Chains A and B, each alone.
Chain A
Amino acid sequence: MALDRWIALIFVAMCCIYGYTAFFTMDQSLPPFMQRNPVWPSTFPKVLSVAGALCGLVVLLGLEKQTGQKEPSATDINYRRLGDYNTGQAIGLLVAMVVYALCLRPIGFIAATILFLTAGATILGERKYHILIPVAAIATFIIWFLVQQVLGIFLRPWPTFLVD
């Protein structure tokens, strides 16, 4: 089965779970006065779950015929040949983003950002650390200054143990 149909299958399953919640479990905690209203918090989700399941089935069963096959472009990525691309680098960057999210509060914005920018460029093949680290550090400080001092949005700059 093609990837788009697998996605449609997952979508139909999601609609079933969403619909089950809307039809059977959501209204249980509804206060009595709301039960006399013509519209409940579950009304719109109920409509969506039915419409979504029907639409997902149209894609899953291939009811809508495609008129022409799209010509693949040189820059398109064919998911069947993932090994031909820099998939490892992409996964590495995603992992770096997750690590950044988890470290942002404990080690502070400045250290986390310098590490993320350095690690990101290293994953992509940059080895000139004498340029990379100062660029990352200067950019981080400028952004921190602009966001916190000029815009007034709080960003914890230093690790938690230094502040508390």
Chain B
Amino acid sequence: MLEGLMIGLQTAINPFNLGMVVFGCIIGTFIGMLPGLGPMSIIAIMIPVAITLGDPTAALILLAGVYYGAIFGGSTSSILLNAPGVAGTVATSFDGYPMAQKGMAGKALTIAAISSFAGGTIGAILLMIFAPMLSSVALLFHSAEYFALMVVGLSAIAAFAGTGQVGKAVMMTILGLMMATVGEGALAAMPRFTAGILDLQSGFSFITLAMAMFALPEAIFLVMNPARSAQGSGDDKSGKIDNLRINRQEARAIAPVIGRQSVQGFFIGVLPGAGATIASFLGYAVERNLATKEEQKEFGKGSIKGLSAPETANNAACTGSFVPLLTLGIPGSGTTAILLGALIALNVTPGPRLMVDEPQVFWAVIISMYIGNLVLLILNLPLIPYIAKILAIPRNYLIPFILFFTLMGAYIGQNNATELLILVGFGVCATILRFADYPLAPLLIGFILGTMLEDNFSRSMQLYQGLGFILERPMTLGLLVLAVLLVLLPSYRAMRARKRAQGVADGD
């Protein structure tokens, strides 16, 4: 391994490759900030540039830099505009945006930068150590386990719901799953629930839905109640982001979160199909459950732990998703699937032989990941005051621009004006749901995981000729039991608390 590291270091610190890392990170950060352009589309756009480089190492280093930069840029728009352009940064907006609203945008961006850096760095170290052996663990997971793992991910929404809100959260999840079934299913190219509308054949777009659920209602609320924007930008502090530093107490609070989520996020990223999205949601859910009762109340309202957890986990998972790609040739996520395509176009065949045949590619990518994280930290920390100035733009200008970026995000992904009408329609529905205190994050999680859940469910059903896979595969059964517990525990806790309160009131 030491020899490999030296080869990697030598290749990665070559000035040209260093330049590629810096270039990739800058491009990724800026494009990632535009809602609607996630890492998948950015990498797809950058592939022709990478291929023209000719050198597969430099190309992969560039694309990895773009990947990290885009995830970081996505976090910035989640925190400042509540417009997560990437599924993996949706959980970041749960606490990042409330922090920005409280006038702590600078601090939120600093925490995001540090957490991303730590997650990516620890992930890169774990990748070096575990890459060869983790590939065999990932192979143990079959479609039945993936199905069960996704059910666990969906059950974790219980963590998002407040006490007594589990029903509403599950209802929203099911609505998201139902929306995911619109369009042609993977099982058969048969249009479902399209009502004969041609534009719905490919289903609803994730970006449109994400914008409609988060960015649009927030902008409408800002218009309706100017007091909301006064909290974030219109007060005396506007234009002056002076609280970039985090104090010792805050650093001490997020350190264990970073430690835990780096490891957890990395291992989730290793599982093909899981990736940054599940890692960030699970990271958020786990940290919320581990927090003290006082800290739990802060989650969703601007908790630094709630911000740090998904940010660490998604970056660690990005690194983890390179394990199956580099060691098995199996893409762990949509983004790594595009990277796989790029590698094949560059005449590099990822797989168990990659470490032996082309060690410079394998190790240089790992080393450049570390350098990429460092570059992002160095670039972004000094830029934070300027990035956060976006909140100082007058409300009359800012809101039309937020709405415009929301519209653009939905439009450029599909190049279809119908998408904009769908966006407005869903945006109005989402605003009404928010009036009634329905949580919207579970809907989006259900929508994101819906297709994967159905695919794995169908594949398992076909393989076992029915539901037999639940009993025949112990890991599946264990995960499903865990999912049931995750749903029932909050309700049980609430019931117990109610009974206890009643007992106290009755004088027991």
Task: Give the interface of A toward B (CB within 8 A).
Answer: 2-4, 6-8, 11, 14-15, 18, 21, 26, 29-30, 34, 37-45, 48-49, 51-52, 55-56, 58-59, 63-68, 70, 74-75, 77, 79, 85-87, 89-90, 93-94, 97-98, 100-102, 104-105, 113, 116-117, 120-121, 124-126, 132, 135, 139, 143, 147, 151-155
Contact = CB atoms under 8 A, between A and B. Distances in A.
B130 interface: no
Contact of A93 (B403, B423, B454): B403
Contacts of B424: 94, 97-98, 101
Contacts of B420: 97-98, 100-101, 104
A45 B178 contact: yes
Interface stretch (B11-19, B70-78, B221-229): B221-229
A64 B493 CA distance: 12
9 contacts: A7-B432, A38-B461, A42-B192, A85-B224, A87-B224, A93-B223, A105-B417, A124-B223, A151-B45
Given A11-B175, A55-B167, A98-B424, A135 B397 contact: yes
Contacts of A120: 399-400, 403-404
B178 A18 contact: yes
A11 B231 CA distance: 34
Contact of A41 (B188, B407, B457, B466): B188
Given A11-B171, A101-B417, A124-B399, A64 B491 contact: yes
A59 B417 contact: no
A89 to B, nearest CB: 5
Contacts of A65: 164, 494, 498
A94 B220 contact: yes
Nearest to A128: B396
Given A14-B178, A41-B185, 14 more contacts: A3-B435, A4-B438, A30-B190, A38-B465, A45-B178, A48-B177, A52-B171, A75-B228, A86-B225, A89-B223, A90-B223, A101-B407, A120-B403, A124-B395
Contact of B167 (A44, A58, A126, A139): A58
Given A67-B497, A77-B435, A93-B223, A38 B466 contact: yes
List 6 A-B pairs, minimum CB-CB distance, nearest first: A120-B400, A101-B420, A66-B164, A79-B435, A39-B461, A85-B224
B433 interface: yes
A3 to B, nearest CB: 4
A51 B164 CA distance: 19
Interface string B158-169: 000011111110
A98 B164 contact: no
Interface in B477-500: 491, 494, 497-498
B428 A94 contact: yes
Interface residues of B, number: 72
A5 to B, nearest CB: 9
B461 A4 contact: no
Contact of A64 (B167, B396, B404, B432): B167
Nearest to B425: A98
A55 B494 CA distance: 18
Contacts, number: 185
Nearest to B48: A152
A44 B181 contact: yes
A98 to B, nearest CB: 6
Contacts of B170: 55
Interface stretch (B286-294, B346-354, B408-416): B408-416
B386 interface: no
Interface string B211-241: 0000000011101111110010000000000
A3 B174 CA distance: 19
B263 interface: no
Interface of B: 31, 37, 45, 101, 162-168, 170-171, 174-175, 177-178, 181, 185, 187-188, 190, 192-193, 219-221, 223-228, 231, 395-397, 399-401, 403-404, 407-408, 411-412, 415, 417-418, 420-421, 423-424, 427-428, 432-433, 435-438, 454, 457-458, 461-462, 465-466, 491, 494, 497-498
Given A41-B190, A55-B174, A75 B395 contact: no
B340 to A, nearest CB: 22
Contacts of A29: 190
A153 to B, nearest CB: 5
Contacts of B466: 38
A97 B322 CA distance: 40
A121 B438 contact: no
B164 A67 contact: yes
Contacts of A101: 407, 417-418, 420-421, 424
A52 B421 contact: no
A67 B494 contact: yes
Name, among A52, A97, A147, the residue most crowded by chain B CB atoms within 10 Å (CB to CB): A97
B404 A153 contact: no
Contacts of A79: 435-436
Contacts of A94: 220, 424, 427-428
A121 to B, nearest CB: 5
A37 B396 CA distance: 58
B264 to A, nearest CB: 28
Contacts of A67: 163-164, 494, 497-498
